[in-house]
Structure 1
Amino acid sequence: MGFLLSKLVKLFSNEEHKVIIVGLDNAGKTTILYQFLMNEVVQTSPTIGSNVEEIVCKKTKFVMWDIGGQESLRSSWSTYYANSDFVILVVDSTDRERLHISKKELHEMLQNEDLKKAKLLVYANKQDIKGCMTAAEISQQLKLTSVKDHTWQIQACCALTGSGLSNGLEWMLESKR
Structure 2
Amino acid sequence: MFLVDWFRGILASLAVWRKEAKILFLGLDNGGKTTLLRMLTDESLGQYQRTQHPTSEELSIGNIKFKAFDLGGHAIARRVWKDYYAQVHAVVYLVDSCDRERFAEAKKELDALLSDDSLTNVPFLILGNKIDILNAASENELRYFLGLADSTTGKGQVNLEGTNVRPLEVFMCSIVRKMGYGEGFQWLCQYIK
Cα separation, partners in 2 of 1:154 and 1:83, compared to 1, 3 Å? same
TM-score by length of 1: 0.89
Query: What are structure 2's unaligned runs of at least 5 residues?
Result: 1-8, 154-164
Residue of structure 1 in register with 2:6 after alignment: none
Matched residues, number:
173
Residue of structure 1 in register with 2:76 after alignment: 72
Q: Which moved more, 1:145-154 or 1:35-44?
A: 145-154
**Equivalent residue in structure 1 for 2:171, among 147, 150, 155:** 155
Matched residue SS, 2:49: coil
**Equivalent residue in structure 2 for 1:81, among 75, 81, 85:** 85
Residue of structure 2 in register with 1:143 after alignment: 147
Contact kept, 8 Å, 1:23 with 1:91, in 2: the verdict is: yes
Q: Write the distance in 1 (CA, Å) between the matches of 2:12 and 2:169.
A: 24
**Identity across the alignment (%):** 30
Q: Write the distance in 2 (CA, Å) between the matches of 1:15 and 1:176.
A: 9
Query: What are structure 1's unaligned runs of at least 5 residues?
Result: 1-6
Deviation track 1:38-72 (CA, whole Å, cap 9, x = no partner) reads 12313311001212111112331111111110012
Residue of structure 2 in register with 1:11 after alignment: 13
**Equivalent residue in structure 2 for 1:116, among 101, 117, 120:** 120
Q: Write the distance in 2 (CA, Å) between the matches of 1:150 and 1:78.
A: 19
Cα separation, partners in 2 of 1:10 and 1:105, compared to 1, 3 Å? farther
Matched residue SS, 1:106: helix
Give the AA of the match of 2:173: C
Matched residue SS, 1:16: strand
**Equivalent residue in structure 2 for 1:58, among 55, 62, 65:** 62
Pair 1:169 & 2:185 matched = yes
Shift of 1:114: 1.7
Shift of 1:8: 7.5
Larger Rg over CA atoms: 2
Residue of structure 2 in register with 1:4 after alignment: none
Q: Write the distance in 1 (CA, Å) between the matches of 2:11 and 2:98.
A: 45
Contact kept, 8 Å, 2:152 with 2:169, in 1: the verdict is: no
TM-score by length of 2: 0.82
Deviation track 1:4-40 (CA, whole Å, cap 9, x = no partner) reads xxx9765313101111011111111100111111123
**Equivalent residue in structure 2 for 1:127, among 106, 131, 140:** 131
Q: Write the distance in 2 (CA, Å) between the matches of 1:96 and 1:106.
A: 15
The root-mean-square deviation of aligned C-alpha atoms, in Å, is 2.1
Matched residue SS, 1:175: coil
